[in-house]
Structure formats: C-alpha cells, structure tokens
C-alpha cells in the first residue's frame, strides 16, 4: 500500500530528527521546529505512529515489491525509532528509575544520535530508491 510507504518515509524522517537533533542538556536552540521536536506529547504520538507504521510495513507490500524483505530496513528503523521515543517518554515520566538491559542501554540510550541518523538515512534512501531490495 502506498499509504504505508509514504507514512513510513515521513515517520522515519521525523523520528530521526527528534532522536538526532534533540538533546536534554541543550536548550540554546530557540527555533519553532526545535521546540516542536522537544515537545513530549509530540514525541509520544510520533513514537506510537512510527512503531505502528514499522510493524504494518512488515505486513503490507507495495505492488511489485518483494514481501517482508523489500521494506526490511525502513520497517526495522520504524520499530526501533518508535520504541526509542516511547522508551524516552516513559523514562521521563517514571517516578522510579528504569533499569534496562545492557544491550538496550547501548542501542537506545547511548546510541540515540546514531539511531536518529540511521532513521533519517533509511527514510531518504527509501524515498529516492523505492524499488530497491531491503530499502
């Protein structure tokens, strides 16, 4: 379905921007776009939409594309990016500290900017090369 194709591109790009450009310690940027990205409710909604889109991207096929494998990278980026946004939202609202497994801390917490960059690259490549296998 083309709707999920474009929704996947949009949600991966915006989620990548949120993960890459927002930093808890940096409040020096005053642009309107930056303020929208830092909004917790916007991040929560984008996390849910990105995760659901990534999941449905695994299930739906664009006509002429290979099932599952054809959109594997954007789907995985959507699942990971959406999960990261949901995790950050939950950890910011949690009164008790979260204890996470080491691999989760390494990927989600320490690799926030890298995950955002990968999501943006996946969105760009998926838009430019729509029929390439894995992208």
Q: Give yes or no for residue 114 having a pLDDT over 80.
A: yes
Give mean pLDDT, residues 114-130: 92
Whole-model pTM: value is 0.86
Q: Give residue 95's pLDDT band: very low, low, confident or very high (50, 70, 90).
A: confident
Mind listing the pLDDT tens digit for each residue in 14-55? 999 999 988 766 666 656 777 888 888 999 999 999 999 999
pLDDT recorded at residue 81: 95
pLDDT recorded at residue 16: 94
Measuring CA to CA, which residue among 71, 82, 99 is closest to residue 19?
82
Q: Give residue 83's pLDDT band: very low, low, confident or very high (50, 70, 90).
A: very high
CA distances from 77 to 29, 52, 93, 94 (A): 27, 12, 24, 25
What does the domain layout of the chain look like in residue ranges?
Answer: 2-128
Give mean pLDDT, residues 105-132: 88
Quickly list DSSP for 19-82: HHH--TT------HHHHHHH-HHHHHHHHHHHHHHHHHHHH---TTS-TTGGGHHHHHHHHHHH
pLDDT recorded at residue 104: 82
């Amino acid at each position: 379905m083309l709707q999920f194709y474009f929704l996947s591109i949009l949600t991966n790009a915006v989620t990548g921007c949120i993960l890459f450009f927002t930093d808890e310690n940096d409040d020096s940027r005053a642009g309107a776009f930056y303020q929208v990205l830092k909004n917790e409710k916007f991040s929560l909604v984008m996390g849910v939409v990105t995760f659901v889109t990534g999941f449905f991207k695994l299930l739906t096929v664009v006509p002429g594309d290979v099932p599952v494998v054809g959109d594997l990278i954007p789907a995985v980026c959507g699942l990971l990016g959406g999960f990261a946004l949901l995790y950050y939202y939950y950890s910011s609202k949690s009164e008790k500290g979260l204890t996470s497994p080491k691999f989760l801390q390494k990927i989600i917490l320490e690799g926030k900017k890298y995950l955002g960059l990968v999501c943006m690259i996946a969105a760009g490549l998926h838009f430019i090369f729509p029929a390439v296998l894995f992208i």
